[in-house]
Structure 1
Amino acid sequence: MKVLALTQALLGLAASVQATTVDYTTVTGYFLQDETSTDASTFDYTAVNFGLINRTYPADRHLRNPHSLTQWERFYHQVQKWNEESPKDVEYKVLFLGRHGEGWHNAAETYYGTPAWNCYWAELNGNGTATWFDAALTSAGVSQALVAHDFWQKEINEQRIHTPDNYFVSPLVRTLQTANYTFTGLELPKGSAEFKPLIKELFREGISIHTCDHRHNRTYIHDLFPEWPIEKGFSEEDELWNGVTAETSAAQDVRSEKVLDEVFFTSESIKENSFASVTSHSGEISSILRVIGHRTFSLNTGAVIPVLVRAEKNTKERATVSSVAWTASAHCTAPPVTSVSACVCPSSAAPVTTPLVTDV
């Protein structure tokens, strides 16, 4: 039944045809993370004002006294000016893409090494000491989320940054916790949107056979944060994870484009609501960056980058996709013998493509 549900969900996603499509483009020249000279591995968003480049903007000429405003105030004014002057089928939005803090799955991968993690340990719910099924944050992960919290407050106080008009979050526990630690308790500017993130299925991590990618049921998620809305159509059980097949990058990009289509040009996301926060995962953020044409930029756990996106509707119908490519993944049935770069199953534990965890 689980595989059938998975197939139905994927075919429904793949075969959808919209009356219009949306073309996404990254608008460069405004953030350090857009530039090839910026090294993602050493990038510290807290040291460089979220990466916002110190520069003038065309819209500055419409301000009476631009020198009295902060960089973020002038940039926000520029984004608003673009939206005001653009056709109705064009929308500019700044997406604050935040990766969750360190989860128990991240700690376990470091402990076991990536080869052993991928081909055996990740297919279990835990090891008796730690649990990484729908992994929660470690204490280090909580600290990383609190760094983001404190930096947001600093930007509010010193830069008078416009805080997000909309908040979105993946349904996996580590992202829910990260969003909560990051935004709860901030002293928001008067008139700011309340932090009450919308939980969206398709902002989840790339779906592999790892149990850390298997979400809890809807009831569990609601009970964690009962005040937070969950999108319509969100299923009680996880219909996208089965422990057998893994989502390819191409398949993930299809759903990333679909969920972006749900963020842009909606009644909740009118042009004036030009700043949005998305708390998600490294793989999903990488997919979003591909969809919007941004250069590859890997985020450390707990990191946040804004990207400026131009979205434009066009009248061409989206071509029907008959299937979305997923792949079966083999794994050991006992702890592997590993090398630095590869995994070797013991002779008594030949690789299989059936789940190690059966209570799914």
Structure 2
Amino acid sequence: STVAAHLPFEVRCTLATDDATVGASADASCPAPLVKKVHFIRHGEGLHNVAQREWRAHADWDGQSEPYTLKTDPELRYLDAELTAKGTEQAQALRARTAQLLVELVIVSPMRRATQTALLAFETRGRPPFLASELLHETGGRHTCDRRLSKTQLADLYPEIDYSLIADEDDPLWGDGASREEPLETAMRAARFVEWLATRPETTLAVATHSGFLLALFNSVLSGADSAAMSWFATGEMRSVVLTFIPK
């Protein structure tokens, strides 16, 4: 894609089992490409997911409006939407799998539903460190559910998360709340995330983020992914992949 063309490497994606390992090449004379195992997680069901479902079920729905714009949500009820009880259960259900993973770092979207999902999914002894990245933010703007709390508020809520990479106190993607981030902008952000990921020393990581971001990443940035990898993530879904970074 035009987005992937900006990267200094091709990032090949293959679906993997949870327990698949990645290691160095046996042939030291032939340097192996950088390889990382990444467990991508979409947050569990959020209050906004239920709100949208109910909104669209109304007989008089106009086919376009959403329940979480400044016009339909002036009181910001869905601001940085949290998990529902079902969403909490979906996150907890991942523990059986995460307990078997040798994850060195969990990278989370700073939005509450993704952060909550990761904390619940990895609620085990010897939990890996957690790092927030704005690059994992859901498609931003217009939807109140996709406007995060301030950095100060988030750090108070989740002291176990490292927010040092979050540069802006307030959501930088919100703007005036009238316009939505364009698909190309989300895809370019996903490409920047992959470029940053390549600089990390860890080889096995988990990433907790959002459906819009994941769709952009798997369809516009990663190459070689089959249709199963490129499909929409369900709420609370974890998809394990191996990423191979091949210099251009």
TM-score range, shorter chain: 0.7 to 0.9
Contact 2:68 2:145 in 1 (8 A): yes
- The Cα of 1:80 is off from its aligned counterpart by 0.6
5+ residue gaps, structure 1 = 1-17, 32-51, 53-70, 157-161, 189-193, 315-360
Which residue is 1:255 aligned to?
189
Contact 1:82 1:92 in 2 (8 A): no
RMSD: 2.6
* Partner of residue 105 from structure 1, selected from 48, 65, 80: 48
Closer, same or farther in 2 for the Cα pair 1:152/1:135, shift >3 Å?
same
* Partner of residue 218 from structure 2, selected from 289, 298, 309: 289
5+ residue gaps, structure 2 = 1-5
After superposition, where does 1:204-353 map in structure 2 within 5 Å? Answer: 204-232=137-165, 234-242=167-175, 243-264=177-198, 266=199, 269-270=200-201, 273-290=202-219, 291-293=221-223, 294=225, 295=227, 296-314=230-248
User: What code does the residue aligned with 2:246 have?
Assistant: E
* Partner of residue 12 from structure 2, selected from 25, 28, 36: 25
- The Cα of 1:216 is off from its aligned counterpart by 0.6
Which residue is 1:131 aligned to?
77
Contact 1:256 1:288 in 2 (8 A): yes
- Is 1:171 matched with 2:115? no
Closer, same or farther in 2 for the Cα pair 1:103/1:87, shift >3 Å?
same
SS in 2 for 1:216: coil
- The Cα of 1:87 is off from its aligned counterpart by 2.5
Alpha-carbon separation, structure 1, partners of 2:139 and 2:166: 20
Structure of greater relative contact order (alpha carbons < 8 Å, 6+ residues apart): 2
Alpha-carbon separation, structure 1, partners of 2:63 and 2:108: 26
The number of residues matched between the two structures is: 232
Closer, same or farther in 2 for the Cα pair 1:132/1:117, shift >3 Å?
farther
Which residue is 2:37 aligned to?
94
TM-score w.r.t. length of structure 1:
0.59
- The Cα of 1:247 is off from its aligned counterpart by 1.6
User: What code does the residue aligned with 2:11 have?
Assistant: Y
Alpha-carbon separation, structure 2, partners of 1:122 and 1:83: 53
Alpha-carbon separation, structure 1, partners of 2:139 and 2:55: 21
* Partner of residue 97 from structure 2, selected from 122, 145, 151: 151
Bigger-Rg structure (1/2): 1
Contact 1:109 1:117 in 2 (8 A): no
SS in 1 for 2:45: coil
Contact 2:151 2:166 in 1 (8 A): no
Which residue is 2:86 aligned to?
140
Which residue is 1:345 aligned to?
none
- The Cα of 1:249 is off from its aligned counterpart by 1.7
Contact 1:99 1:300 in 2 (8 A): yes
- The Cα of 1:187 is off from its aligned counterpart by 4.0
Which residue is 2:3 aligned to?
none
- The Cα of 1:120 is off from its aligned counterpart by 4.4
Alpha-carbon separation, structure 1, partners of 2:136 and 2:66: 26
- Structure with the higher fraction of residues in helix conformation: 1
TM-score w.r.t. length of structure 2:
0.84
Contact 2:132 2:165 in 1 (8 A): no
Alpha-carbon separation, structure 2, partners of 1:83 and 1:204: 38
